[in-house]
Structure 1
C-alpha cells in the first residue's frame, strides 16, 4: 500500500525541521511541511493528507481556526488533526482544541518517545481505516455484482420458463391430436390387428408425453414450484394401472413384467398418488430400456408399521445390463447416465432418475440403486405412507368409449383452434355427442363468428396467430351484449405452466383443459354447462 501523507504546520521553521527529524524514521509515512496556514490548506486540498500536526499559536490563522476550516470542508474533514502547543495545559484550551475537531494534543517541549508513539498509533489507525474503506468498497462491488448476477439468473430463469412453455405447447399440440385420433380409433370398429396397432401408437405417445413431463417437472423442481398434493387413493389400483402402461413394450421385448405386493399393506392409502406413480413409472421405464431378456419385478414391501403409518419400499428389479460400481451414484445426476456409451446405444434424456431423486426428497423419502454389472439392477423408493382414513373410496369404473356417452342435443360449440389436426379431432368428438360445431382458426375469427350467431360454449386455444385466445376472451368479456359477455369459455391449451393456466382464468376463462386431454374430462365439463342451460 502507498505511504500515508502527514502534514506538519508550524509558523517557525526550526520547529518544522525538528519534527521532521523526529518523525523521519516512522515507516510508511510521507512528510509534507509548511509554515504558512494558507499554503497548508492548499496542500490539504491537492494532496491526500491523512494526519496533520498543527501548531496552535500562529499569526493570521491560529491552530484552532485551521482545524475548524479542515473539518468544515467535506474534502478535508477526514484528516486526523493533532494540536502541537506550548500554551497552558488547562482544560479550557484542551476543550477548545477538541471542539475545533482535533483528536489529540502534543505539548512542547516535545517528548520524542511520546511523540513517535502517538504518531505511530495514528498512522496505524489511518491504515486500518483505509483497509476498512477498501473492504467496504470491495463489499459494495460484490453486492453490485451479486445484484447483477441475480438479475441475470432471474432473466435466465424466465427465459428458460418461456422456452419450456413454448416447447411444451409446440409438442403437446400435435401430441394432443395424435392421442385424440387414438381415442377416435378406439371408439371405432377395429380388427384385432388394427387394435394392436392403435395400442402401440398409444403406448408410444404416452412415452413421449412422459418425457415432456419429465423436462417440465425438472424445471418446476429447480424453481421450487413443484407442488405435492396428498389424497386418499387405492394403492393396488395405482400399481396395476402403472404396470399396464408398460405391458405392450414388455411384450414386444419378451420381458416378463411382474407385480409382488405385500398382503400386509392396506389397499387404501394417503399419499401423493401422482408423484408415486411417476417414481414407479420412471423405475420401470428405465429397467425396460436396459433389459433385453428375462424379467422385471415391481415389489411393494412393508418394512415397518407404527399405528397408521407404514414404511413401504417400492422396488423394481430387472435382469438388465447392470451398472458399473464406480458410476452407480452418477445415474441420479441430471442428464447423466452410467456410461457415456449408454446414450448412443439406448438413448434417453438422463432425466428420469434425477426427477425420481428430487421427488423422493420432496416426499420425505429416499431412493437407492443396487446393481451387479452384467446381471441386473434394483431401484428402490422408501417412504412413510399413512393408511387412508376414508375407507369408502370407490373403485374406478372401467373407461367407456367417448362415443357411447349420452348425446347432447341442440348444443352449439365454437372451436377456436389453429391446428387442423386438433380442430378435426375436437370437432369429431363434439359431433359424436350431437353438438353443432363451428370451427375458426384464431381469436379474431372467433369474435366475428360470435357476432353472427349465438353459441352455448366456446373452446378456445390460447396460442393462435392474428389474435390470441387471451385477447379474444378479454374482448368477449367486455362485449356490450350481456348474453354474449357471459358465454362459457374453456381454454383448451397445450400450456401446462401454472402461471399461464392462472392467466387464462384471470382474463375470464371458466375452465382450463390442458392438452392432451381426456375426452371424458371434457365431456363432464360440457355436461355441467349443458345442464345449467336447461
Structure 2
C-alpha cells in the first residue's frame, strides 16, 4: 500500500514568488525527477546540497523549503521519526519569518501524517487550511490528489471522481504526467471498490502507459500489480500472467537488497550530519551562556535569587494550578464533545443536502423523457381520449418538474451555493414579464393582475433580476392560487433615494381566502400551506414562500405578511438597490417564436444519454431542423472543427471531459457559434461558470418545448443580426 500512496509523500512545490529562480530551484527540480524515478539516495544527496547553499546564502525561506522536502522524502522511506525531526526544524524557522507558502506545505505534511493515521476528517480540515495559505498550482493539485484518496476512504466517490477528473487534464508545469498517472491509479482502485472491473482496467492501463513513457518506476510496478489482479478476477489469465511476470521482473530491479542498503545508508548519513549540526549549534549556545555567566558573578547571583523567588511563587500557586488543570481537563472534554456533536450535525446536514440534490438531479433524466415524449405525442394528432390522457400526463410532468426545481433551489440556498449578482436591468420589464407569464393562470381563476408602478423609480437599476423574478413569480403565483374572481395587485414604490442608492417598497396583495393568525406563524416553513384541507383543495408543495424568504435573506431583507381570513392577504418587503445616472439606449430586440424560420438550420446535439438524443433530435425535426449527434465532449470538439453548424446544444454532465471543458476547447477555434447549455442543473452547478466557459445561454432539463425553441431562435437569429449590423 505504501507504493500506491507514494505520491502523497513526494510533491514538488514551487518556490516563493518573492525569490527569483536560483541554483537551489534547479536542484529542487532534479530532486523531483529522482523521486519519480525511484532514485531516493540521489534525491537526498541533491537536497543536502541545496540545504548547504541555503545556509551559505543565509536564505531562510530556501532552508525552510529544504527541511520540508526532507520531511516528505523520509515519509516516503516510511521513517516517520526523521520526518518529524525535519518538520520541527521548519516549525522553528516559521516562528521567525512570514512565509505563507511554507506554512501551507507544513500543513500539507501534517495532513499526510493524519491521513496515514486514518484521521480522515482532521486531514481534510488541515488541507482546507493549506489551500487558504497558498494559491500555488502544484501544491493545490497535490492537495486535490490526497483529498480524492481520503474521499475514497470515506466512500464519497462523487467528490473523489470530481478531483481525479480535474487531475487527468491538469496543466501543472512540473508534475502534469505524474499527477495524471496517480489519478488514473486512484480511479482504477475506486472503480474496483465499486465492482466496475472494466473501468478499473481502463484506468490502470492508462496509468501504465503514462508511467512507462515517463519512467515512473514505482507507478509501473503498481500498474502491473493491479492489472494482474483485475485480469485474474475477469478470468483473463493470459493477460494476468503477463502483468505478473512484469511485476516480478520490476520488483527484482527496483527493490533489490543493494539498492535498499544504499538508500538507507545515504539517509542515515545525511540525517546524522544534520542532527549533529543541530547539536553543535546547541552546544555553541550553551558555551556562550556559560561564558556570559563567568563574566558576571552579579548576574549569576541575581539569577539564583530570581530562581528562588520563582520557586516560592510556584509552591504558593501549586494548589491553584491543580484546580485550573482539572477545570481545563473538564473544559477540553466538553469541547471535544461539542466538536463531535457539531461535526455530526454538519455531516448530517451535508448528507441530507447531498441526498436531496442527488435525488432531484437524477429524477430530471427520466422526467425529460416523460415531458419530451408527451410533447411529441401531443403534436402527432392523437385521438380525443388519448389527448385527455396526454394532457394529464403533461400536467403531472410539469407539476413534478416545479416540485424538483423548488427542492433544488432551497438546497442551493441552504448550502450557500447561491450568490447575488449585480447587473443592469429594467425593473418594470422584470415585473411585466412575470405578470405576462402568469396571465393564463389568472384567466383560469377569472382573476385580474394589476401592476401599480411608481414612475419615480429610475428606468435602469443594478441588481439580480433573475432572483427578483423568482421572488415575484412565487408571490404572484401564490396569490393567484388562492384568489378566484378577484384581483391581484403588484405594487412597486420608491421610498428613499440618496444619489445612486435606492430603497424600494414592494407588495403583492390579493382579495382571496386569506390566512388565519394561527397559520401565519408557520406559513413560511417548508411544505406548509396553512392546513391539510387547503393543501388538498388548492394543491401545491408549500415551498414557494420558503424560497421567497430564503432569497430575500440573501438581499438582507425580510418578507412580511398582513392577512385576514376571508378578506385577502398582503405580502410586502423593502429592498436596497442601486442605479446609475447614465442614459442607456434601449433598443429591444424581441422575436416571437412564430417569427423564427427554423427550416434549413443544422445543429449539433452533444448528449451522452440515448433517450435524450432521440427526443431532442425529434423535437428539432418537428421544426425541419437537421442535426448531428456527438456522444461526448471529445466527439463534439472534432465535429465542430470538421463541420459548419448554426448552433450547438451542449449537455454539461458527460463522462470524460465535461460540457464546460468542451465549450472552452471549441471557443479556441470558433468564437461566434451560439452554444446553448442543456443541463439537469445540480447543487454544485453554477450558471456563472457556464457563461464563463463560453456558453451563450442555458436551458435546464427537462425543459418546456416553447422555451427550448425560443432559446434556439433567439441565439441563432440575434447572432446573425449582430453580424449583419
Q: TM-score, normalised by structure 2?
A: 0.45
Is structure 2 residue 529 aligned with structure 1 residue 343?
Answer: no
**For the pair shown, which has the larger CA radius of gyration, 1 or 2?**
1
Deviation readout 1:432-452 (Å, 9 max, x if unpaired): 464343476xx59x979989x
Distance 1:326 1:461, change over 3 A: same
Equivalent residue for 1:391, pick from 567, 584, 593: 584
Structure 1: distance between partners of 2:451 and 2:691: 42
Structure 1: distance between partners of 2:313 and 2:322: 20
Structure 2: distance between partners of 1:423 and 1:199: 21
SS at match of 2:330: helix
1:129 CA displacement: 3.3
Structure 2: distance between partners of 1:306 and 1:448: 52
Structure 1: distance between partners of 2:391 and 2:586: 29
Where in structure 2 are the equivalents of 1:138-157 lying within 5 Å?
138-157=330-349
Where in structure 2 are the equivalents of 1:389-468 lying within 5 Å?
389-401=582-594, 404-405=597-598, 407-408=600-601, 413=604, 415-418=606-609, 420=611, 423-429=614-620, 432=623, 434-438=625-629, 461=651
Q: What are the ranges of 5 or more consecutive residues in structure 2 without an aligned counterpart?
A: 1-300
Structure 2: distance between partners of 1:506 and 1:259: 36
Structure 2: distance between partners of 1:197 and 1:232: 44
Structure 1: distance between partners of 2:679 and 2:552: 30
SS at match of 2:484: coil
- Return the structure number with greater strand share: 1
Where in structure 2 are the equivalents of 1:261-280 lying within 5 Å?
261-280=453-472
Is structure 2 residue 670 aligned with structure 1 residue 494?
Answer: no
Judge conservation of contact 1:173–1:422 (CA < 8 Å) in 2: no
Where in structure 2 are the equivalents of 1:182-331 lying within 5 Å?
209-331=401-523
Equivalent residue for 2:656, pick from 439, 447, 471: 471
Distance 1:528 1:179, change over 3 A: farther
1:260 CA displacement: 2.2
Structure 2: distance between partners of 1:456 and 1:373: 62
1:153 CA displacement: 4.0
Structure 2: distance between partners of 1:264 and 1:275: 23
Structure 2: distance between partners of 1:248 and 1:310: 33
Structure 1: distance between partners of 2:323 and 2:595: 77
Q: CA RMSD in A?
A: 5.1
1:494 CA displacement: 0.7
Judge conservation of contact 1:430–1:437 (CA < 8 Å) in 2: no
Residue 365 of structure 2 aligns with which residue? Answer: 173
Equivalent residue for 2:328, pick from 118, 128, 136: 136
Structure 1: distance between partners of 2:447 and 2:506: 20
Structure 2: distance between partners of 1:229 and 1:472: 28
SS at match of 1:298: strand
Judge conservation of contact 1:490–1:511 (CA < 8 Å) in 2: yes
1:102 CA displacement: 6.6
Q: TM-score, normalised by structure 1?
A: 0.59
Deviation readout 1:99-155 (Å, 9 max, x if unpaired): 7x97589xxxxxxxxxxxx9xx77xx53x4343223322332334334434443443
Most deviating of 136-145 and 181-190 = 181-190
Structure 2: distance between partners of 1:357 and 1:530: 41
Equivalent residue for 2:570, pick from 360, 378, 386: 378
Structure 2: distance between partners of 1:261 and 1:431: 41
Structure 2: distance between partners of 1:150 and 1:502: 32
The answer to which structure, 1 or 2, has the higher relative contact order (CA under 8 A, 6+ apart) is 1
Q: What are the ranges of 5 or more consecutive residues in structure 1 without an aligned counterpart?
A: 1-91, 106-117, 464-468
1:242 CA displacement: 0.5
SS at match of 1:301: strand
SS at match of 1:315: strand
SS at match of 1:366: coil
Distance 1:248 1:199, change over 3 A: farther
Structure 1: distance between partners of 2:324 and 2:539: 57
Structure 2: distance between partners of 1:426 and 1:447: 17
Distance 1:462 1:241, change over 3 A: closer
Distance 1:319 1:269, change over 3 A: same
1:182 CA displacement: 8.6
1:380 CA displacement: 1.1
SS at match of 1:279: helix
Distance 1:204 1:215, change over 3 A: same
Distance 1:456 1:280, change over 3 A: same
Distance 1:360 1:530, change over 3 A: closer
Residue 22 of structure 1 aligns with which residue? Answer: none
Judge conservation of contact 2:606–2:636 (CA < 8 Å) in 1: no
1:234 CA displacement: 2.3
Distance 1:353 1:506, change over 3 A: closer
